[in-house]
Amino acid sequence: MHLLIRSARVVDTTSAHHDQVVDLLIENGLIRQIGTNLDAPAGAQQIIDVPNLHVSAGWVDGRASANDPGHEHRETLTDLARAAAAGGFTDVALLPNTSPVVDAKDTLGYVRRMAEGQPTRLHPMAAITKGAKGDDFTDMIDLHRAGAVAFTDGDHPLQNPDLLLKTLQYLRPMNGLLVNRAEDQLLTQFGQMHEGIQSTMLGLKGMPTMAEVMMIERDLRLLAYVLEQDEATASNVPVTPVLHFSCVSATESVELIRKAKARGLPVSCDVAAHQLVFTDIALAGFDTYLKVNPPFRSQADQDALWAGLADGTIDMIVSDHHPHDEESKNVEFDVAEFGISTIETVLASILTHSDRLPLATLVDRLTTGPRRVLRLPTVTIAEEQPAILTLFDPTAQWTYNRSVSPAKNSPFLGKTLTGNVLGTVLLTRASLSLPS
């Protein structure tokens, strides 16, 4: 592939060209030349020259639900890859909660085979326990060697502290990553939304922040115990996270992780993009498209999430993409499934509803942060580096009229958003949606 990108502003704090407007010449999967007024080579297949073009390293989604195998009527892996590319993602880490669960090499191999040739690279995470049921361990060494990027029971938070402790001990020698969504499910049983004034007014059973905070505190204590047992010193404490908290949503959660990082514990965390956009007030209309877990919490909790992104406590922004069919959402609120389809609108939803952080910081939490946490190769915009790029216009307004995915459970459908993805470049492939 020969591609010339003209007059693009680089958004990449790791690049010497950050915040500069440059031309990029891409040949055979590499950025061959960066400069101004570059001549198009004779073999250039396409020249991209659009107003207010911005370019960054390819975005990485650290948490998306796969429905293939088992629930392809909701979304196949091909659908997911196309939707992710439309949302600006070149890489996506997949939860293992398929049917069957990704808990053995054959299922992992299926996902990896189906991911070949897609416009987005799909990285399967493998289950910690068989069937993600929280009982017996999977063969994590085999799964690690087969290409699992991390280990998690995904939508089933680990309730048993001994399981979590032994998993940390098991993964340490192979530099593996344990991903857990903190939730004490005995405290959230039958819960429908955040526990607070709004849940009381709506007559819905609440899900207290305590359910998340207590589990984070537990997991941090177990991690510290494992490191002490290993007689860890400053010279051999892991430089990459060992324990990752996914979808943090509460003020105290952010503060606990901030203090843990200050103590030198190898932890990281992410926040779902929609948590930065909505609070529990949005549920006043009983819109099932806004029913998620963890639930939208208070304004104070949302403010803490933004502060955590600003100071680096929160390492990455994820889509927490959960596609559903119509029958799962077009029902009464208390029986509707949790989750929304978000992978096409991550940055746009944030830019539309807030300008709290510089664009470069937001993009960093979609690029550098997740690559470091997930142990993916570093990507930067420099000559002779791999062409793994996202092209976007952060100020363009557009209407999200149609989803690439068959899943339609997005609260943003039909809405006008700010921040438009124009396409992605992934080595020798380009997925472009440029204005005419």
> Which residues participate in catalysis according to the annotation?
320
Coil, helix or strand at residue 170 = helix
Nearest to 236 by CA among 186, 291, 175, 168: 175
What's the rounded Cα separation, in Å, for the pair 137 and 51? 53
Number of Cβ within 10 Å of residue 435's Cβ equals: 10
Q: Is the dihedral of CA 230, 234, 238, 241 positive or negative?
A: positive
* Residue 101: Cβ-neighbour burial (10 angstroms; 0-12, 13-18, 19+): buried
Give the DSSP letter of residue 321: B
**What is the residue type of 102?**
V
- Identify the helix (H) or strand (E) that includes residue 132: none
Residue pair 222/164 in contact by the 8 Å Cβ criterion? yes
Give the DSSP letter of residue 340: B
Burial 59-93 (b: 16+ CB within 10 A, else e): bbbbbbbbbbbebeebbbbbbbbbbbbbbbbbbbb
* Residue 379: Cβ-neighbour burial (10 angstroms; 0-12, 13-18, 19+): buried
Q: Strand 89-94 to strand 59-64: parallel, antiparallel, or no bridges (unpaired)? A: parallel
The 3 state secondary structure assigned to 253-305 is: HHHHHHHHHHCCCCEEEEEEHHHHCCCHHHHHHCCHHHCCCCCCCCHHHHHHH
Q: How many CA atoms lie within 13 A of 39 on its CB side?
A: 3
Coil, helix or strand at residue 362 = helix
Helix and strand numbers, DSSP H then E, in the chain: 12, 17
What's the rounded Cα separation, in Å, for the pair 307 and 220? 21
Nearest to 84 by CA among 148, 76, 409: 76
What are the residues whose beta carbons fall under 8 Å from the beta carbon of 42, sequence distance 6 or more?
none
Outline where DSSP puts E strands in 183-250. 193-194, 206-207, 243-245
